[in-house]
C-alpha cells in the first residue's frame, strides 16, 4: 500500500472515531455537519476456515458486483446476495433497485469458482418492492422467499425452470410488514425469523414455526424474541445449521440502517422454548477502510465448502452525495 493510500485509510479511521465517540457539536465543528446519508450498495465475497472467521477473499476482486454490472435495467444499487451451488455452477440471487420502476427486483448472476461473477438478468418482478431473495433447495425443488413487505405478507416462489423462471406458489404469512424473513429446517420442523416493526425501526424480531414448508405457520410463544433493539433484531442473511448447531445473523441498524452484522448461536429451540447467545461482542462485519464498505455492511450468506473452508456473499455500502447518476430521469405521464 502506498504512503498516500495509508494516509487515506488513517484519515478515514480518524473521522469515524470522532463521529462515534465525540459529542455532535464537537463533530460538527471538526468535520462539518453531516447531511443526508445516501447509501450506494455493492456485493462482495469473503472466505475463511470457519463460519465465524470470514475475511475479504484474496481471490476475489471485491466488490464482485456493482450497479455498473446490471445490463437490462437502470440500477441504483445491488444488495442482499444469496448463493446456491448446483453441480459445479454457483448461482447468486440479489436485489437490484430498478430506477425506472422505483422498486427492488430480483436478479441472477453466475460463477464457476465463486469469486468471478457474471451478471445474467432480472428473473423476478412484481408490482411491489422485492428484495432479500432467500433462495433454497428442498426435496429437489428450488424455492425463494423474497422480502415483500409492501404486500404485507411472506410469499413463497418456486422455480419452474431453475434458475431463470419463477412463479408465485403460496402465501405463508400475512397481515404485517414482514422484513427479511429467513427460514430454516431443524429437527423435522420449519422455523422462520422476521422483523415486523411497521415504522421501519428495525427493532422487533418475531419467530414462527410450522410442521411443513407451506404451513400452517404459527407464532412461537416466546415471540417477539427481541423488542426495541435495533442492534440485533433485523435478520442479516441465511440461518446456518451445521453439526447440529444453529447460527443466526442480525443487522445492527444503529446509528443508521445497515451498519454492522452480528452473530448469535441458538442454543435451545423447540415449539415452546427459545434461547440464544451472542457469539462475540465484536461484530462479524462492519464499516472498514475499503471504499465499498466504508459506510457499513448488513448481510451474509455463508456456505460450507469442506471441513476447513467457507465462502460467503456479503454486501456493503459507501456514502455518496446523490444516488442517481447524472442525466437519469424517470418517464413522466
pLDDT value at 58 more than 60: yes
pLDDT value at 7 more than 60: no
* pLDDT of the residue at 12: 47
Q: Are 95 and 80 in contact (CB under 8 A)?
A: yes
Q: Are 120 and 111 in contact (CB under 8 A)?
A: no
Residue with the larger pLDDT of the pair 320 and 10 = 320
Our CA angle for 249, 254, 256, nearest 5°, is 105
pLDDT value at 32 more than 60: no
What band does 60 get if pLDDT is binned at 50, 70 and 90?
confident
Cell of 112: 464457476
Q: For 62-76, 199-213, 317-331, which range has the lowest pLDDT when averaged over its residues?
A: 317-331
pLDDT value at 30 more than 70: no
Contacts of 333 (CB under 8 A, 6+ apart): none
pLDDT value at 22 more than 90: no
What band does 96 get if pLDDT is binned at 50, 70 and 90?
very high
* pLDDT of the residue at 25: 61
The model's pLDDT over 284-305, given as tens digits with 9 standing for 90+, comes to 999 999 999 999 999 999 999 9
* pLDDT of the residue at 274: 98
* pLDDT of the residue at 330: 84
Question: How far is it, in rounded angstroms, from Cα 132 to Cα 273?
Answer: 27
Whole-number average pLDDT of the chain: 92
Coil vs helix vs strand at 50: coil
Q: Are 259 and 298 in contact (CB under 8 A)?
A: yes
Residue with the larger pLDDT of the pair 207 and 35 = 207
pLDDT value at 195 more than 50: yes
- In this structure, the number of other CB atoms found within 10 A of the CB of residue 100 comes to 12
Q: Strand ranges (DSSP E) for the chain?
A: 38-48, 54-56, 75-86, 89-98, 103-111, 118-124, 131-138, 141-147, 153-161, 165-174, 179-185, 190-195, 205-210, 218-219, 240-242, 245-252, 260-269, 274-278, 296-306, 309-320
* pLDDT of the residue at 307: 85
For the beta sheet containing 274-278, the strands, ordered from the edge strand earlier in sequence to the opposite edge, are 240-242, 245-252, 260-269, 274-278
Work out the average pLDDT over 266-292: 96
Q: Are 200 and 191 in contact (CB under 8 A)?
A: no
Give yes or no for a cis peptide into 148 (omega within 30° of 0).
Answer: no
* pLDDT of the residue at 9: 47
Amino acid at each position: 500500500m502506498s504512503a498516500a493510500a495509508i494516509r487515506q485509510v488513517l484519515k478515514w479511521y480518524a473521522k469515524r472515531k470522532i463521529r462515534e465517540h465525540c459529542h455532535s457539536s464537537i463533530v460538527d465543528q471538526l468535520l462539518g455537519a453531516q447531511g443526508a446519508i445516501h447509501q450506494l450498495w455493492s456485493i462482495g465475497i469473503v472466505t475463511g476456515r470457519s463460519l465465524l472467521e470470514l475475511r475479504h477473499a484474496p481471490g476475489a476482486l471485491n466488490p464482485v458486483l456493482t450497479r455498473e454490472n446490471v445490463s437490462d435495467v437502470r440500477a441504483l444499487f445491488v444488495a442482499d446476495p444469496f448463493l446456491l451451488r448446483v453441480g459445479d455452477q454457483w448461482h447468486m440471487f440479489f436485489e437490484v433497485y430498478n430506477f425506472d420502476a422505483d422498486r427492488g427486483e430480483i436478479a441472477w448472476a453466475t460463477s464457476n469458482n465463486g469469486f468471478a461473477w457474471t451478471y445474467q438478468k432480472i428473473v423476478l418482478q412484481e408490482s411491489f418492492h422485492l428484495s432479500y431473495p432467500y433462495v433454497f433447495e428442498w426435496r429437489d425443488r428450488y424455492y425463494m422467499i423474497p422480502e415483500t413487505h409492501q404486500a404485507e405478507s411472506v410469499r413463497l416462489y418456486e422455480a419452474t425452470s431453475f434458475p431463470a423462471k419463477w412463479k408465485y406458489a403460496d402465501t405463508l404469512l400475512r397481515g404485517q410488514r414482514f422484513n427479511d424473513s429467513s427460514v430454516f429446517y431443524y429437527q423435522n420442523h420449519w422455523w422462520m425469523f422476521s422483523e415486523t416493526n411497521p415504522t421501519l425501526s428495525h427493532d422487533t424480531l418475531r419467530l414462527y414455526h410450522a410442521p411443513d414448508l407451506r404451513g400452517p405457520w404459527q407464532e412461537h410463544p416466546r415471540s417477539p424474541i427481541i423488542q426495541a433493539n435495533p442492534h440485533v433484531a433485523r435478520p442479516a442473511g441465511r440461518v446456518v445449521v451445521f453439526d447440529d448447531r444453529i447460527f443466526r445473523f442480525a443487522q445492527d441498524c444503529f446509528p443508521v440502517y445497515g451498519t454492522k452484522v452480528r452473530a448469535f448461536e441458538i442454543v435451545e429451540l423447540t415449539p415452546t422454548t427459545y434461547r440464544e447467545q451472542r457469539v462475540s461482542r465484536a461484530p462479524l462485519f462492519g464499516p472498514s477502510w475499503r471504499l465499498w464498505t466504508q459506510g457499513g455492511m448488513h448481510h451474509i450468506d455463508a456456505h460450507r465448502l469442506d471441513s476447513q473452508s467457507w465462502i460467503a456473499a456479503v454486501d456493503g455500502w459507501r456514502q455518496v452525495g446523490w444516488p442517481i447518476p447524472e442525466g437519469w430521469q424517470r418517464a413522466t405521464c
